[in-house]
Amino acid sequence: MLNKKELLAPAGDMESLKAAVHAGADAVYLGGKRFGARRFSPNFSHEELKIAVDYAHLYEVKVYVTVNTMIYEREMEDAYQYAKFLSEIGVDALIVQDIGLIRLLHIHFPELELHASTQLHNYTKNNFDELARLGVKRVVLARESSLSEIESISTSLEKEVFIHGAICISYSGQCLFSSLVLGRSGNRGECAGMCRLPFTLEKADGKILKEPAYLLSPKDLCTVSKFKELMDSDIKSFKIEGRMKSATYVYLVVKIYRYLMYAYDEGKEMCISDTLMKQLKTVFHRGFTLGHLFEDKENFRNTKGPNHQGIVIGQVKSVDKKRIELLLTDDLYQEDGIRFSRNQKGMIVNFLYDRKGNLISSGKRGDTVFLDNKVSLEGKSDVVKTSSKYLDGEILNYPQKKISVDISFRARVGEVISLSVTDGVFLISVEGPRVEKAKNCATSREDIEKHLSKLGDTPYQISKLLFDIDNDGFIPMKVVNHLRQEAVLKLNEARFFRKPVKAYPFLPEKYEGKKEKNVTISCLVRTEEQLLACLNSACRIYVTNPELYFQYKEKYPQLYLRLDRGKESPDYVGERLLLTEISQLFLASKNQAVADYYLNVANHYFLSYLKSRSILCSTLSVEAKLQDIEEIPSVMDMEVIVYGNLEVMLIKNGDFLAGKYLIDRNKEKYPIFQDDEITHLFSYQKEWFSESEVLSILSTSISSIRLEFLEESSQEVKNVLKKYQEMLANFSKL
């Protein structure tokens, strides 16, 4: 019995989708023009989405659409209408991040299949259980999960895991680096890739790394060498990253993993040739790692560069202002892209010369060739190939998949012509005119077969052709052609068809608004000194240190323990907790619980769900602006952070950042805190809302403002508190 696993491929455009289909993907994932976490890939318009779904379904390939951004209140009805459209065109599932949207879709489209995006930081059984409650069918695992951790999760939900492509240094869905520094939100599909920039590290003793390095830039995931272990697991779907990659990349990567899946099913050795690995490195890689999936801790990052590494194809022997002499260690073709390691400058090989100065189209391994010096190279250097037009042409000249069909043709004199076509699932029958007796020359079986077989521009090929004809009948070939074309069109339509799921009309959710609002201040503290400075001024004090919480909790009922992210939570009962992950919501019914900003709450559907799970108050996403906050109705108590160094990144196995500050190109310093296997990176700049900003926020449904303290002294804490207390007092006078 074959191992029923799914190979899931990316599609940033129609060319990539076709490449994925014909390379052997079981399903593709793609995005529309809105609500997708890859805003800068081409993506698909509504009309293109319909064409894409029909094309994929024609070849029995499923289509999953990404609706995996954080959703603001004003966008919820648009998201509903978008989901309605997607269900109508037969999309097989939606990949969603926002819990509010998941809840909305489950209410209005109970039959629509929902997959929980990796952006939800899915890594524990409690997380799976929470998502099952919301009607999710499949969970995309966080990319920092190991295979052993994934297999330890007992669940009825399907597991989906990334197996190849770019990975994040931060915990999935827990990165605010791009958003807080550049105003481009990763949670909204606009990530600017801050992790791909060079940094220096200031050690605790004040020493600084002499040279900037790409300290946060991971290699690309490649699980070819360990794929058997993945096939042996209970993982349902294997996902390839790459909605911003080329069709060449998509086809090659899908083809390689499909080959490995075939080898597994047939009990053959699961390995690929050196040639395929070289091609894989040519189309794109930043260096390869087995990632957190196989706990490849020492080989996770490429600190030398964040870009495509290519393959080494030669060394520069000599150079002058006009020409570069190159000794090849691999093939080089005209129109290939190359880069010189000496100055990291790249060029397209528009002209390639031999020793005599003659133009040539290619050079082979061992040849000496000459290039125009278009990059001002001044010394010897390794040369890497970063693109290959020849390889692109070779790969994209792939054979089209064909669907086998059986055709039956009946033509008896005096009866109507009938043509039946079946793909084994659908049976299509069409009829033509009555057959007349031939006056001169009867139509031969060979002529009919020739015209019925003209399926070259269709996805079909004939497996079996059956005839039931008289030998003296006359059948015009234009009739045969017409019947063949009509049958093919009807079979296409049958294969396109997917029954739309039932949709309930969008109606604004009814809720009871809060009638009174008692505005308060909350504080998050990290030291005992900070805690003591807040005791007489804050309604709630969140403590990050469990020892500090348990030392003072009996004496001070306003104390809450903020739970860690990236770790299994103890099964607390009767405590006061600040919950930081979806997986911790099960604790709310057994404790007094507040939801933290890491949950990315930005709409009242999410708030209503938190309220149903016994959450007392929810902190809104720090990415929500005043306009976004104003639109959220008062479903429950809500809190907004108005002061502090916010956490921009959470890193697993980040001991390579053992130090005090990470320093960027502009000399800005990002504080670093180490916590067991987890590293916390904070913004270099403090959020510091002005009085006018605070008064505007308090005029909305917000009932609490929070101050977050990182390295502040006791006196600094008191000074900040005093400023914001004065603001609250001024608000009370309005």
pLDDT digits (tens, 9 = 90+) for 584-643: 999 999 999 999 999 999 999 999 999 999 999 999 999 999 999 999 998 999 999 999
The predicted pLDDT at position 599 comes to: 95
Distance CA(734)–CA(725), nearest Å, equals 15
pLDDT digit string (tens) for 401-460? 999 999 999 999 999 999 999 999 999 999 999 999 998 889 999 999 999 999 988 999
pLDDT at 514 over 60: no
Distance CA(23)–CA(16), nearest Å, equals 10
The predicted pLDDT at position 374 comes to: 92
pLDDT at 3 over 70: no
**343-347, 485-489, 525-529: range with lowest mean pLDDT:** 343-347
Quote the tokens at residue 100. Answer: 């509010």
pLDDT digit string (tens) for 636-690? 999 999 999 999 999 998 889 988 999 999 999 999 998 878 999 999 999 999 9
Mean pLDDT calculated for residue range 201-211: 87
The predicted pLDDT at position 1 comes to: 40
| Residue 654 per-residue DSSP state | -
**Mean pLDDT value across the chain:** 93
Q: Tell me the chain's radius of gyration from C-alpha atoms.
A: 31
Neighbours of 528 (CB within 10 A): 15
φ, ψ for residue 434, nearest 5 deg? -70, 150
Distance CA(139)–CA(135), nearest Å, equals 11
pLDDT category of residue 38 using cuts at 50, 70 and 90: low
pLDDT category of residue 495 using cuts at 50, 70 and 90: very high
Name the 3-class secondary structure at 54.
helix
pLDDT category of residue 105 using cuts at 50, 70 and 90: very high
The predicted pLDDT at position 182 comes to: 87
The predicted pLDDT at position 670 comes to: 95
Helix 46-58 vs helix 14-23: crossing angle, to nearest 10:
10
Chain centre to alpha carbon of residue 539: 39
pLDDT cut 70: percent of the chain above it: 98
φ, ψ for residue 254, nearest 5 deg? -60, -45
Tokens 């020793």 -> residue:
355
**37-46, 103-112, 465-474: range with lowest mean pLDDT:** 37-46
pLDDT at 39 over 60: yes
The DSSP element (H or E) to which 182 belongs, if any, is helix 177-182
Distance CA(246)–CA(252), nearest Å, equals 10
Distance CA(60)–CA(426), nearest Å, equals 13
| 3-state percent helix, strand, coil for the chain, nearest multiple of 5 | 30, 25, 40
User: Which is nearest to 401 in space by CA: 699, 117, 678, 59?
Assistant: 59
The predicted pLDDT at position 510 comes to: 66
pLDDT digit string (tens) for 321-336? 999 999 999 999 999 9
Q: Which positions ≥6 away from 261 have C-beta within 8 Å? A: 3, 5, 7, 231
The predicted pLDDT at position 513 comes to: 57
